[in-house]
Amino acid sequence: MKVVLRHPKREVEVTGRRRVRDLLKELGLLPGTVLVIRGTELLTTDAIVGEDDEIEVRPVISGGAR
């Protein structure tokens, strides 16, 4: 599957079906710090993503003094 990551924007290819929770673990990301998006859907950590999916992993953390 194609996984789009941000900061900077880039794509990685991941093979095999797995739970979102496991995908994030492999990418070294904490579940509370990203939205996992498939098309117009938000996915929870127990959702299963597969070969044909295109997933966006969007960070939610904003920085600097605001």
**Which spans of this chain sit near another protein (rule: CB under 8 A)?**
6-7, 9, 30-33, 35, 37, 41-47, 58-66
Select 15 or 61, whichever has its Cβ closest to another protein: 61
Name the residue among 60, 16, 14, 8 with its Cα closest to residue 37.
60
| 14 or 37: CB nearest another protein | 37
The sign of the CA dihedral 47, 51, 54, 55 is: positive
Q: What DSSP string runs through 25-38?
A: HHHT--GGGEEEEE
Q: Measured from the CB of residue 11, what is the shortest distance to another protein in angstroms? A: 15
Residue closer to another protein, measured from CB, 27 or 44: 44
